[in-house]
Amino acid sequence: MLDNAKLFYQPVLDWHRKHGRSGLPWQQEISPYRVWVSEIMLQQTRVDTAIPYFLNFLQHFPTLATLAAATEDQVLHHWTGLGYYNRARNMRRAAQQVVEQHGGELPESFDDLIELPGIGRSTAGAILSISMAQRAVILDGNVKRVLARVHRLAGWPGSGEPLKQLWKLAEHYTPPDPPEHGALQTAGEYSQAMMDLGATLCTRHNPQCQLCPVSDNCQALQMNEVTLYPQPKPRKVLPVKEIQFLLLSNSDDEVLLDKRPPVGIWPGLWSLPELPLNNSVEDYCLERLGKSPLTVKAEKPFSHTFSHFKLMIHPVWVDVAESTKDIMEPNRSFWYNPTHSEKPAGLPAPVKKLLQKNFGKE
C-alpha cells in the first residue's frame, strides 16, 4: 500500500477533473435525497439501466416527504422492471423513518444512516461524501476492482479477508474533507472519481491501462495480470450424475415414454426410460419387453444443468422392432409417436430436445 495516501488520490482526482463523467442525472442538483435514490437504484444495477428509472422516480417522488407519503404500491409501480424490489420497499420505509425520527432530512451521521433499511456501509459512505461534504468511504464494485488490481489482491472480494483488506485500503486512500489548504477536491469527488475510473477505464474486460492515472502504481499491470483481478467468486463444482436415456423405438416409429414419479426431478413429466450408465441395454429390454433389441446405437452424450447437480445424458437409440403394447400400463408409460401423436403436456427440456433432434418436429 502507498504509505502516503496523497500519492494515490491526487492523480485520481486530477484525472477525474479532466476526464470524469459529469452528465449523469444524479450529478446535477446534487442533494442527499437525489444521491440516496441513485445509490439505491445503482445497487447491482448498471448506470444505463438506472438512468430512466431515476428520472421517472424523481418525477413522481420529487422529495423525501413525497416518497414517505406514497403507498408501497405506488413506489413499486415506478420500480417495476428494475428488480430487487426490496430496495423500493426499504426506501419507502426508510423515508418514513426519516420523517418520524429525523425531521424529514436524511441524518448526517454514519451511524444514523446505516440504521435506515437499505443503506449499508458503502451507500452511507456515498451519501455522506458526495452530498454532505464529509470524509466518508465507499467500496462498491468499481472501487473493489480498482483497488484489487492496484494491489493485486488475492481472493474473491465479496466477503472475508479480501473484503476486509479492501475496506482498509479504501479508508486509507480517501482524502481529507474539508480538503487540505490550497486543494480544491473533496472526498465526495474522490468517491465519484473512483467509480468513474472503475466504470470507464478500469473495466472488467479490456481495461484502458494506458490512460489510467494510477497505472504506475498498479501491481496487477506490472505483472501483466490486470484482468485476473478481482478474482471471481469460487463456484461450487456441481456433482455430475450420468445416466442413459433410452430411445426405444418400434416399427411404428414410436418411442416409449415413462411418467416420472411425483417427487425428484421432473415430477410427473413424461420422460424417456432411464438407465444407470453401466447397465446393459440388452438386459433392460429383455426384462421390460421380453426380448432383445435389434440394434443398439449410442448417441453423443450431452449435459443438462440443474441448480444442484449436472446431469450427463447418454442417449441410446434402441430398435425394438415390434412393440409389445399390451404390457404397458396406461398411466405410467405409453408409446409416443413424435411426428403424429398429440404432444404430452409435460416434456423435460432435454427430452424435448432429443425428440426434436431425432424426429425433427417443431
Q: C-alpha grid cell for residue 354?
A: 432429443
Beta strand ranges found along 154-284 (DSSP E)? 240-249, 255-259, 270-271, 274-276
Q: Which is nearer to DNA, 109 or 339 (CB)?
A: 109
Among 23, 103, 182, 232, binds DNA (CB under 7 A): 232
Q: C-alpha grid cell for residue 56?
A: 421517472
Q: Which is nearer to DNA, 161 or 180 (CB)?
A: 161
Question: Count of CB atoms within 10 A of residue 357's CB?
Answer: 11
Our finding on whether 123 is near DNA (CB under 7 A) is: yes
Q: Which is nearer to DNA, 14 or 252 (CB)?
A: 14
Separation between Cα atoms, residue 76 and residue 62, nearest integer Å: 16
Our finding on whether 47 is near DNA (CB under 7 A) is: yes
Among 160, 178, 267, 268, binds DNA (CB under 7 A): 160
Separation between Cα atoms, residue 76 and residue 86, nearest integer Å: 9
Our finding on whether 121 is near DNA (CB under 7 A) is: yes
DSSP 104: T
Among 2, 24, 30, 133, binds DNA (CB under 7 A): 24
Our finding on whether 198 is near DNA (CB under 7 A) is: yes
Separation between Cα atoms, residue 150 and residue 115, nearest integer Å: 32
Q: C-alpha grid cell for residue 221?
A: 499491470
Our finding on whether 34 is near DNA (CB under 7 A) is: no
The interface region with DNA, picked from 75-83, 255-263, 272-280, 314-322 by CB under 7 A, is 75-83
Can 39 be counted among the known catalytic residues? yes
The interface region with DNA, picked from 61-69, 196-204, 251-259, 269-277 by CB under 7 A, is 196-204
Among 154, 199, 228, 243, binds DNA (CB under 7 A): 199
Alpha helix positions (H), 86-216: 86-102, 110-113, 121-126, 132, 141-150, 160-173, 187-196
- Give the shortest CB-84-to-DNA separation in angstroms: 5
Q: If residue 319 lies in a helix (H) or strand (E), which one and from where to where? A: strand 310-319
- φ and ψ at 185, to 5 degrees? -85, 155
Helix axes 32-41, 86-102, angle to 10 degrees: 160
Q: Which is nearer to DNA, 196 or 254 (CB)?
A: 196
Our finding on whether 308 is near DNA (CB under 7 A) is: no
Amino acid at 285: C
- Give the shortest CB-126-to-DNA separation in angstroms: 8
274-276 vs 240-249, strand pairing mode: antiparallel
Q: Which is nearer to DNA, 159 or 251 (CB)?
A: 159
Q: Which is nearer to DNA, 38 or 134 (CB)?
A: 38
The interface region with DNA, picked from 21-29, 173-181, 267-275, 282-290 by CB under 7 A, is 21-29
User: Hey, which residues does 310 pair with through a beta bridge?
Assistant: 240, 305
The interface region with DNA, picked from 62-70, 101-109, 138-146, 351-359 by CB under 7 A, is 138-146
For residues 314 and 298, is the Cβ–Cβ distance under 8 A?
yes
Separation between Cα atoms, residue 253 and residue 251, nearest integer Å: 5
The interface region with DNA, picked from 58-66, 111-119, 210-218, 311-319 by CB under 7 A, is 111-119
- φ and ψ at 256, to 5 degrees? -85, 130
Q: Which is nearer to DNA, 19 or 21 (CB)?
A: 21
Binding stretches for DNA (CB under 7 A): 21, 24, 26-27, 38-39, 42-49, 81-86, 90, 114, 117-124, 140-142, 145, 159-160, 192, 195-196, 198-199, 204-206, 232-233, 235-236, 305
By annotation, the residues acting in catalysis are 39
